[in-house]
Structure formats: structure tokens, C-alpha cells
Amino acid sequence: MNIAIDGPSGAGKSTIAKELAKRLNITYLDTGAMYRTVALKSIYLGVDVADEEGVKAFLPSVDLDIRYIDGTQHVYLDGKDVSQEIREHRISKAASDISRIPAVRLKLVEMQRSLAAKYDCVLDGRDITSYVLPNAEYKFFITASPEVRAKRRYDELAAKGEIVDFSVLLNDIKQRDYNDSHRDFAPLTRTEDSVYIDTSDLSIAEVLDRVMQVIKEK
């Protein structure tokens, strides 16, 4: 069983996907973490994430591994656990930029499809329903207003002690929305067969209940 969830940054899709996987006792695959990891590698090497040829040059040497420890996904880059580092704000835009490079998407999509073929799993990202797993049994498009998403991100970073100007976060989110939905290859889009859920005024529990209801009805 494959459950595909798409949506813009900060809509809550990763939180929903994780909780959904727990409820159904299946694997959660955070595809966004994979793009963040490649972006981190680019930063380590001093390669501009918008430099397509520069990124393509180091891409074959990226050693990216996903392991599940006590039910939690950990991402490793060249043998190092970078699960926390890839969540830093500086990586968010870098991941959006590097994901626009077709070679990056092709490399990671191959890995995602391989994992989805082996396990019952929940995948969330930008192009899961439209490109990665177009034949998934269950598809959802989860979104929220840019202001709500920026506030959620602000609170999340503040809880970690990372203070960022709210207006900067809001502009970053709007820019990322534009980038993700206007890239030439596998852009963020809502497919006709995806169930649309706006989480702006909903709690996590309420969104989960809606998703579970759809799955049960099918």
C-alpha cells in the first residue's frame, strides 16, 4: 500500500505523514529530507546549488542512506547522521533550488520508487502524486495559507532557539511556492485524483481524521 501526499512547504504534510504511518503501522519516507541532504552536500563542497553542471558533477558520489532507528527515520550523508543539520533554515531554500535540477530529481526518484515497491509506506513531497507514484492507491494534497505556514515555521524554529524574522520566513515561503510550482521538471501541482485538504484552521488530529476517513471509505 502506498499513500502519496503532496503540498507546499510548511503545510503540515510531513507531520501528518508521520502520524499516519504510525496509525497504520507502515513505513514513512520523508522525501524532502533526501533533497535537503543533497543540498547539504553541495554546501559542504562549496558548489552553488543553482549550478546545474557543478551539482551534476558531484551527484554520482553522494552517499545517501536512510535508516530507521526505533521507528524514526534517520538520514546519513557519507556515513554521518545529518538528520538534525538538514532541518536548519539555511537548508530549506537550498533544497528548493537544488530540487529544480532534473538530474537530482531523477536520482532521488529512483530511490523513492524502489523503497515504495518494497514496503507499505507513506511518502510526502512536491511531486509524489504526479510523478513519483502516479499510481498510488491513496493521494492527498495538503496545504495552508502562506501566513499560517510561516507562523508554524517561526514557532518551530523559535522552539529550537533559532530566531528568524517573520517577514523573511513569509517571503521565503512565497518564493519557494513559486519555485516549486514553476519549475520545468515535475513541478508542485494538485492532481485531479488527489483529495484536497486545507489545514489552515484544522488541528493535526482533525486532518488525520479526514485522511483516515478517506482511506477507510476506499
Percent of residues in the chain assigned helix, strand, coil, to nearest 5: 55, 15, 30
pLDDT in single tens digits along all 218 residues of the chain: 999 999 998 899 989 999 999 999 998 998 889 999 999 999 999 999 999 999 999 999 999 988 888 878 899 999 999 999 999 888 988 998 999 899 999 999 998 998 899 889 999 999 999 999 999 999 999 999 999 999 999 998 899 898 889 999 999 999 989 999 998 888 999 999 999 999 999 999 999 999 999 999 98
User: Quick one: cell of 77?
Assistant: 550523508
Residues whose CB is less than 8 angstroms from the CB of residue 119 and which lie 6 or more positions away in sequence, other chains included: 26, 27
Give the pLDDT confidence score for residue 51 in this predicted structure.
Answer: 96
Give the pLDDT confidence score for residue 186 in this predicted structure.
Answer: 87
Give the pLDDT confidence score for residue 137 in this predicted structure.
Answer: 96
- Please give the Cα distance from 70 to 193 (Å, whole number): 34
Q: Which residues pair with 142 in a beta bridge?
A: 197
Task: Report strand pairing: 72-77 vs 80-81.
Answer: antiparallel
Give the pLDDT confidence score for residue 66 in this predicted structure.
Answer: 86
Residue 104: which of 45, 62, 46, 48 has the closest Cα? Answer: 62
Give the pLDDT confidence score for residue 115 in this predicted structure.
Answer: 86
- Specify the number of domains making up the chain: 1
H/E element holding 61? none
What CATH number does residue 92 fall under? 3.40.50.300
Q: Which domain holds residue 109?
A: 2-217
Buried/exposed 171-201: b ≥16 CB within 10 Å, e otherwise:
ebbbebbebbeebeebebebbeebbebebee
What does pTM read for this prediction? 0.81
